[in-house]
Structure 1
Amino acid sequence: MTMKDISKVVMDAPTVVSAFSSGQIDGAGIWYPLIDTIKEKVPGMKEVASTEDLPGSSFPTAFVSAAKAKPERDQKVVKVLQEANDWRAAHPEESIALAAKLLKVDEAKVAADAKHVKTMTTAELVARTEDGTVGKWLDGMSRFFVRTGQLPKSPDPSTFYAGDLYTKAAAR
């Protein structure tokens, strides 16, 4: 199968779930937890590929900021986010329970979503930033978006990832 065999239709996520569940489309590119929602509604659905099946690809969670605007303030914000993330990595079950309570959703749904996420510690992310791994992940993600027509060309990760800010905040 090639892209020529596919009729691409852009939809927002809830529309994809509804269209797939009602049989209006035969396939979809979508993410968790929405895939689990589709699986519930379409017994026997086949998940043909996931991010784990794409070598060199990673779709990291991100925090967005005007990082260069006020470096001292932004380092403090990143440090707080790092501490929260480290707590989350050390307490996965409690994180799931608290997130479910905050979002007022079933804890099982949050747990189902969480099983598809690898929460890395600050130390792991700093090491992967310094050794260039994060840059490779971001390159892979950019190339994916170029292939799917979402980006005209692949930008250099240093133009949108403030790795220096992340590593400096960790050293505080």
Structure 2
Amino acid sequence: MKIARLTRTLIASIGFALLTQPLVAHAEVKIGVSDWPGWVAWYVAEQKGYFKKHGADVKLVWFANYTDSISALSAGQVDGNSQTWSDTMAPLAKGIPLKTILVNDNSAGNDALMVGPKIKSFKDLKGKKIALEEYSISHFLLTMALNRNGMTLKDVKVINLSAGDAAAAFMAGRVDAAVVWNPWVNTIQTSGKGKPLFTSKDVPGLVPDLLVVQEKSLKAKRKDFVGMVRAWYDVEAFLRSNPDEAAKIMSKVVGLDAKSYKVFLPGTQFFDQKANLQAFGPASDKTSLMGVAPTIAKFLLDNKLMEGKVDFAKGLDASLVKEVAGVK
């Protein structure tokens, strides 16, 4: 069976490349973090003192390899991890007791189907070569984009390349389109060689980035996790009011300059309290976690990235978000 890897490998080659193993220090709550803006933003909480402010004893554990962080959570080596809803489903299907307690963000333009000037609409893509990283978020986004426009993957020729190589192939004219994430979306656009035909902004809710925790850790250290939720809302407010300082903090974590890192922020919809309450809402809201779950699960099952069924509700715990908001 292929391991589910609807993953974030964002700029891993240039961000903390020397850290091949996570450095874990003894702490009350250990939280895995890897290279995605909605997760790197936890370092704002650390540096601005928001964890301490809300009584959360937290140690952020950096993983240079995102998939290692998923494995670490499933094995109980960390108390919680920063991971996608899609990457949480395979462990849940195996019966691993995990709970999603917070939505950090949705990709809202950071992932995109980039096309050249000759491609005016989806019908122009029929039979064309599209480069992307198979089974990644890019593969998922292309599937959704084609489905929404009356097409399927059978209508195009998928070329399996890493995100960086896909962007290079597109800019060199070796493929007709590429599905990539930032910084390559921005690189292609600023080069004048391509523009987005479809982005993650067109599928609200389908690319949620989360804080997922071990059920046993949640029971034992609930106070710390409630404090983390409160700290996150401070982070979200800080990102809006002080974007330059936030970019400076976050860019240092991944080894970029602040100006380069700011490219990622507009394409990331950071979730505040109101957005979190909605995200944990009923399945009738098609942008909620329950609402998007069947679509994500279908993609995983169709591509043999997951075995078995998932009890979506069992993998969610809205009680912390509700406690902080003072609602039942």
Same topology, TM > 0.5: yes
* 1:61 paired residue number: 209
User: Which residues of structure 2 form unaligned runs of 5+?
Assistant: 1-125, 127-150
The counterpart of 1:82, out of the listed 233, 236, 241, is 233
1:81-131, CA deviations, whole angstroms, 9 ceiling, x for partnerless residues?
333333323433321233234434233322221111222322x13431464
Determine which structure has the larger helix proportion and give its number: 1
Unpaired runs of at least 5, structure 1: none
Contact kept, 8 Å, 2:188 with 2:195, in 1: the verdict is no
**Given the superposition, is the C-alpha separation of residues 107 and 36 from structure 1 closer, same or farther in structure 2, using an over 3 Å criterion?**
same
C-alpha displacement of 1:169: 4.5
Alpha carbons 2:206, 2:296 under 8 Å: kept: no
1:112 matched residue in structure 2: 263
Name the residue aligned to 2:318: 163
How far apart, in 1, do the equivalents of 2:324 and 2:236 lie?
Answer: 13
Higher relative contact order (CA 8 A, sep 6+): 2
Take 1:18 and 1:134, find their aligned partners in 2: how far apart are those partners? 41
For residues 19 and 79 of structure 1, the distance between their equivalents in structure 2, rounded to whole angstroms, comes to 44
Q: Secondary structure at the match of 1:23?
A: coil
In 2, Cα distance between the equivalents of 1:134 and 1:69? 30
Q: Deviations over 1:111-167 (max 9, x none)?
A: 221111222322x13431464389632333651563584566885542433322333
Distance 1:159 1:15 in 2: 38
- Supply the distance in 1 between the matched residues of 2:284 and 2:200 (Cα, whole angstroms): 15
**Percent of pairs identical after alignment?**
17
The answer for the alignment partner of 1:51 in structure 2 is 200
**Partner of residue 95, structure 1:** 246
Instruction: State the Cα deviation string for residues 47-84 of structure 1 (Å, max 9, x = none).
Output: 11112233x54422322322453331433333333333
Report the TM-score, using the length of structure 1 for normalisation: 0.71
Structure 1 pair 70/120, CA: closer, same or farther in 2 (3 Å)? closer
**Matched residue SS, 1:65:** strand
Q: Which moved more, 1:113-122 or 1:59-68?
A: 59-68
Count of matched residue pairs: 168
Instruction: Give the structure 1 partner of residue 170 of structure 2.
Output: 20
